Amino acid sequence: MKRILFIYPPWTRNSAPPVGLSLIQGIIAEHQSRTGVVSRILDLNAIAAHRIPQIVTEDGSHKTHRSILRRNCILKYLTGASGYQSIDHYQTNMQYYKMLLTAYGRQYPIILTPGDFIDKSFNIDNPNDVSCMLDSENHPLLNPLKSDLETRIKDFCPDCIGISIIYKSQLSPALALVKYLKSHYPDIHLSMGGALLSCLPMQSLKTIKETHVSMYPGSAEEFLKEKLNITLDASTSFPAPEYSGIDFHLYFAPFRTLQMITSRGCYWANCSFCDECNETFKSDSSDHVIDTMDILARRYQARHIHFTDHAIPPSTLTKISASNMIASWSGFVRVSPKLADDSYVLSLKQSGCRMLQIGMETPDQSLLDNMNKGIKADLFPAIIKTLRNHDIRSYIYMLFGYPGQSIRSCESTLAFLEQTKPDFVNASIFRWYPNAPLSKLQSHIPGIGNSNTPANDDPGSCGISIPELRRWMSNRLQNSTIIRSIIKNTPHYYKSSHAVYF
């Protein structure tokens, strides 16, 4: 095997090149002199983000007509600095973009938005649906991209194609892609990998495998070992990313933004509701992180770096804060007293920090303790204030409906948000993730474990239901003037991927 083409299928947010594939290419490039293997990325998601609005036709709707008239301007704004100068202008353009996608989706019918794709006739957990999708290369998101595929395959002549699937919304186009490649390029070996595969039922994985596709659920290590005889041990640093094949002009961002990862798993790995707790934690040395940031800024002209870690490890954060970066940066961090320390936050700002994403979940300390969050609620107001004082955006994640949470506790979250006014808020409803520590325990706890009764006024009995919680969120949370203003200023559809620019 000498030439590998990695394909990132549609449909997900088009804010930056796929970070996982850039790392795999980095590893392959490091070993090229021994293996002789070269690779390229074909980001079909980025191409689709431009192609689909361009092929929308008039459908008699006034909205579609107005969006078609503006589509070239919309794409220009979304890919350049002028589109991000004011949030109102940005939201208007994103709304027009959404109307074009809605009009395209109506023809099939599928639901297509800037951030998601839903095909109601396809259930990701149903092996029969997976099997049906593997039977047809005709797919609304793949059809407009076939000429791009043909051209790239003709130019690059791969002997292996690797398809990477990270999000649910990429699965059905990826399955149609398998059918298309099998029919038109039977001599090219197909592999499939990515985080989503580890969430699929065994039967679905088996069905895909039966079409002679090599499957690599989870990390790419098995793929590299099996196909290229490259072994990564626990001490191996993340490689410098390699972007061969990427057209940087396609991404929706005001300036070149690249993603970077400094750790796998989570260094805390204890929150009871979180399904990231099972992955073995591994982090890069902080010196290596600084070197990689420098490579992204100098070799690839990144003006902004977004860390995709579940939580940037504290030692890495301190090292970055002491550095003098060319590019700005943003990412997830855990609550810590340091984030309320004026001089520390000043050093983060001086190193280029534009936005921090922080899972605070609730200001109710007893609930935080039940969640095993390991954080102190009394730090929250000072953290938000200190970040604001240094012009670092705060993107705060709050969780509603955790077992044992009362409506009174939800009200305290609302009061906290109204008093502290973070720049952006993500309010989510508790879900039972099968691999989360709480889900494993649920059978031993009386009164919880019913997916319809996440929240509870009285631990041990059935509390408020999801519909009741949704009603509270709609009547109280979303009716708050302050929350409404935060929502208005949060980028629709692209959320935290674009919030950093405002």
Footprint of ligand SF4 on this chain (CB under 6 A)?
266, 268-271, 274, 276-277, 310-311, 334, 359
Name the residue nearer to ligand SF4 (CB basis): 247 or 276. Answer: 276
We find the least distance from the C-beta atom of residue 341 to ligand SF4, in angstroms, to be: 20
- Report the nearest approach of ligand SF4 to the CB of residue 361 (Å): 8
Q: Return d(Cα 89, Cα 492) in angstroms, integer.
A: 12
Give exposure, 459-480, as e/b (b: 16+ Cβ within 10 Å). Answer: eeeebbebeebeebbeeebeee
Least distance in angstroms from the C-beta of 135 to ligand SF4? 38
- Strands 111-112 and 117-118 turn out to be antiparallel
Alpha-carbon gap, residue 254 to 326, rounded angstroms? 16
Structure-token pair, residue 364: 């109710």
Cα-Cα end-to-end distance for the chain: 46
Question: 14 or 370: whose CB is closer to ligand SF4?
Answer: 370
Closer to ligand SF4 by CB, 269 or 295: give it: 269
Number of Cβ within 10 Å of residue 381's Cβ equals 14
- In what side-by-side order are the strands of the sheet with 38-43? 38-43, 3-8, 160-164, 189-194, 213-217
Q: Which residue, 337 or 460, has its beta carbon nearer to ligand SF4?
A: 337
Closest approach of ligand SF4 to the CB of residue 271, in Å:
3
Please state the closest distance from residue 332 (CB atom) to ligand SF4, in A. Answer: 7
Burial class (CB in 10 A: 0-12, 13-18, 19+), 14: buried
Question: 282-283 and 263-264 as β-strands: parallel, antiparallel, unpaired?
Answer: antiparallel
Q: In sequence order, which residues have a C-beta less than 8 Å from that of residue 444 and are 6 or more positions away? A: none
User: Given the complex with ligand SF4, which of 136 and 278 has the nearer CB atom?
Assistant: 278
Q: Please report how close the Cβ of residue 52 comes to ligand SF4 at its closest, in angstroms.
A: 33
Query: CB-wise, 334 or 338, nearer to ligand SF4?
Result: 334
Question: Helix 221-228 and helix 19-30: axis angle, to 10°?
Answer: 30
Q: Which residue has the tokens 């983000």?
A: 49
**Which among 201, 218, 217, 274 is positioned nearest to 433, based on CA atoms?**
274
Cα 204 to Cα 227: distance, rounded to the nearest angstrom: 23
What's the closest the beta carbon of residue 190 comes to ligand SF4, in angstroms? Answer: 33
CB-nearer residue toward ligand SF4: 40 or 334? 334
Between residues 167 and 493, which has the closer beta carbon with respect to ligand SF4?
A: 167
Shortest spacing between CB 311 and ligand SF4, in angstroms: 5
Nearer to ligand SF4, 143 or 272 (CB): 272
Minimum gap (Å) between residue 336 Cβ and ligand SF4: 11
Which residues sit opposite 191 in a β-bridge? 162, 214
3-state SS, 296-345, equals HHHCCCCCEEEECCCCCCHHHHHHHHCCCCCCEEEEEECCCHHHHCHHHH
